[in-house]
C-alpha cells in the first residue's frame, strides 16, 4: 500500500506550507503610493514616485538601486524624517501621517536606524553613544547600565566601552551604531548603506550581526544598498528602485531565478559570471558557434527541483545530447541556486519537448541562441 506522496510532492507540500506561513505573518510596514519631491534652485526633483510596498514582521527587506534612485529618501519617509507629499505610511497598524507629534515620537522609538558613515558622537565614549537613546528616554541609571552592557556583549565590544569612536575601526563603529539603534528595543531596524564604507570581510561580519539581530531579537530589517551581494547574503525579499520608482519586487529566490527588468538582471549579473555568455555570443566566440541542430540554453534551478538528475534524464528520454558550457552555483538563503549554460543537440521537436519537460520540473529555461538561425 502506498502511504502519502513521493519525495517531490512532499517537498512541494512543505514549500506551500512555508509560503502560507510567510503570508500569515503580520504586516509591519506598508507604504501606499508614497511620493516625495524636493524644490531645488534647478527646479523640482521627484525623488520618490508612487511607491507601494509591504514589509512583513521578521522579514529582511532589501531596497536596491543606483545612486540617486531615491532609496534614502524612501527610507526616510518610513520614519518620517522626510514627510511624504502624498500616500500612506502604515507602521505597526498606524498611519504615521495622521499621528500627533507626541504619538509620532513614540512610534519612531520603535524604529532604529544606521547609516553608511555611522554617525556616532565623536566626543562621547562607546558606552555613552549606546546609552544616548536611553538617556533621552529618561531611563534610570541601573536600567541604562544593564541595557548598554547587554548590547556591548551582543556586539562583542565590552572591553572597548571607554574608547572613543575615533579609536575604533569602521566595522567596530558600525557595531556600536547597531547597538545604539537597538537600545530603545525597536521593532524595525532601518539600514541605509550600512556596509558601503566597509571592506568585504567586515561587510560579512556586519551582515552576520544584522542577521543575528533579525533572527534572535525578532527585529524586522530594511536594508538599503546598491550591492546585490548584500541582498543575496541576507534579504528575504527585495524591491528594485530606478528613478524614484520601484520597478520590480519579489522574494529573493524567484528574483534571482527570473529577474524581469533589465536593471534587476544587471544587478544580479554582478553576483555571478554566467552572464559572460552574452558577451561570448556577441563576440561570436567559438564556444557559441552552433551546428544547425544545436541550441544554446541557460537553465536555472533551486534546491527544491534538483533532486533528479534532470540533464541525463532528458538526454535519454528525448534522444538529445546536452553538453555543459559552464555553470555556477550560488548559495541564496542557505539554499543552492544553480545556473547551467548548455548546448542541446537534437531535432527541433525533441529539443522543444525536452525544454518543456525541464520547465515542468520547475527549472527556468532560456534559449539564448539557435544554430539554424545563424
Ligand atoms: N533634501 C534634498 N533636497 C533636494 N534634493 C534631494 C534631497 N534629498 C534627496 N534629493 C534628491 O533626490 C534624489 C534621490 O536621492 P536619494 O538620496 O534618495 O538617492 P539614493 O538612492 O539614496 O542615492 P545614493 O545611493 O547616492 O545614496 C536625488 O536626485 C537627490 O539629489
Ligand atoms: Mg542614499
Domain 18-259 belongs to what topology? Rossmann fold (3.40.50)
* Residue closest by Cα to atom 14 of ligand 1: 70
Question: pLDDT averaged over the chain?
Answer: 89
Strand partners, 331: 336
- CA neighbor of 53 nearest in space, from 230, 240, 193, 186: 240
Q: What is the pLDDT of residues 26-76, one digit of tens each?
A: 999 999 999 999 999 999 999 999 999 999 999 999 999 999 999 999 999
pLDDT mean over 304-328: 81
CATH 3.30.70.260 intervals, the chain: 276-370
Interhelix angle for 170-182 vs 141-154, to 10°? Answer: 140
- Tell whether the model's pLDDT for residue 339 goes beyond 90: no
pLDDT of residue 372: 67
Contact 188, 57 (CB under 8 A): no
Ligand 1: centre distance to CA 74 (Å): 9
Q: What is the pLDDT of residues 226-269, one digit of tens each?
A: 999 999 999 999 999 999 999 999 999 889 988 999 999 989 88
Q: Domain 276-370 is in which class?
A: alpha beta
pLDDT of residue 306: 56
The better pLDDT of the pair 9, 347 is held by 347
- Tell whether the model's pLDDT for residue 95 goes beyond 90: yes
pLDDT of residue 192: 97
* Residue closest by Cα to atom 7 of ligand 1: 38
Residues having CB within 6 Å of any atom of ligand 1: 38, 40, 45, 47, 65, 67-73, 226
Interhelix angle for 126-136 vs 170-182, to 10°? Answer: 20
Q: Order of strands, edge to edge, in the sheet holding 111-115? A: 111-115, 188-192, 220-225, 60-64, 237-242, 245-251
CATH 3.40.50.300 intervals, the chain: 18-259
d(CA 194, CA 114): 6
From the CA of 63, which ligand is nearest? 1
Q: pLDDT-based confidence at 308, cuts 50/70/90?
A: low
* Residue closest by Cα to atom 29 of ligand 1: 68
pLDDT of residue 282: 86
* Residue closest by Cα to atom 31 of ligand 1: 68
Contact 333, 236 (CB under 8 A): yes
Amino acid at each position: 500500500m502506498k502511504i502519502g506522496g513521493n519525495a517531490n510532492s512532499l517537498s512541494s507540500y512543505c514549500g506551500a506550507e512555508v509560503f502560507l506561513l510567510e503570508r500569515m505573518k503580520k504586516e509591519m510596514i506598508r507604504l501606499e503610493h508614497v511620493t516625495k519631491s524636493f524644490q531645488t534652485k534647478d527646479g523640482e526633483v521627484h525623488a520618490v514616485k508612487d511607491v507601494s510596498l509591504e514589509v512583513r514582521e521578521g522579514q529582511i527587506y532589501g531596497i536596491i538601486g543606483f545612486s540617486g534612485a531615491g532609496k534614502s529618501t524612501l527610507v526616510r519617509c518610513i520614519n518620517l524624517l522626510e514627510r511624504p507629499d502624498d500616500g500612506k505610511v502604515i507602521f505597526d497598524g498606524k498611519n504615521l501621517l495622521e499621528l500627533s507629534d507626541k504619538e509620532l515620537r513614540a512610534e519612531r522609538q520603535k524604529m532604529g536606524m544606521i547609516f553608511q558613515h555611522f554617525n556616532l558622537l565623536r566626543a562621547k565614549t562607546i558606552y555613552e553613544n549606546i546609552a544616548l537613546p536611553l538617556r533621552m528616554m529618561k531611563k534610570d541609571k541601573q536600567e541604562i547600565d544593564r541595557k548598554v552592557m547587554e548590547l556591548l556583549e551582543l556586539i562583542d565590544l565590552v572591553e572597548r566601552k571607554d574608547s572613543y569612536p575615533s579609536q575604533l575601526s569602521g566595522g567596530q563603529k558600525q557595531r556600536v551604531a547597531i547597538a545604539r539603534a537597538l537600545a530603545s528595543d525597536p521593532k524595525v531596524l532601518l539600514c541605509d548603506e550600512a556596509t558601503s564604507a566597509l571592506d568585504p570581510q567586515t561587510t560579512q561580519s556586519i551582515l552576520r550581526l544584522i542577521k543575528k539581530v533579525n533572527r534572535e531579537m525578532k527585529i524586522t530589517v530594511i536594508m538599503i544598498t546598491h550591492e546585490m551581494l548584500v541582498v543575496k547574503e541576507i534579504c528575504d525579499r527585495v524591491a528594485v528602485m530606478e528613478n524614484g520608482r520601484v520597478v520590480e519586487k519579489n522574494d529573493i529566490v524567484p528574483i534571482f531565478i527570473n529577474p524581469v527588468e533589465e536593471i534587476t538582471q544587471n544587478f544580479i549579473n554582478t553576483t555571478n559570471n554566467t552572464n559572460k555568455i552574452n558577451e561570448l555570443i556577441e563576440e561570436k566566440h567559438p564556444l557559441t558557434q552552433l551546428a544547425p541542430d544545436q541550441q544554446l540554453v541557460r537553465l536555472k534551478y533551486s534546491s527544491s527541483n534538483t533532486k533528479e538528475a534532470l540533464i541525463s534524464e532528458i538526454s535519454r528520454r528525448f534522444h538529445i545530447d546536452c553538453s555543459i558550457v559552464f555553470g555556477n552555483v550560488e548559495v541564496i538563503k542557505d539554499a543552492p541556486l544553480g545556473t547551467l549554460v548548455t548546448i542541446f543537440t537534437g531535432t527541433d521537436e525533441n529539443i522543444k519537448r525536452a525544454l518543456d519537460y525541464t520547465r515542468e520540473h520547475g527549472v527556468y529555461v532560456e534559449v539564448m541562441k539557435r544554430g539554424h538561425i545563424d
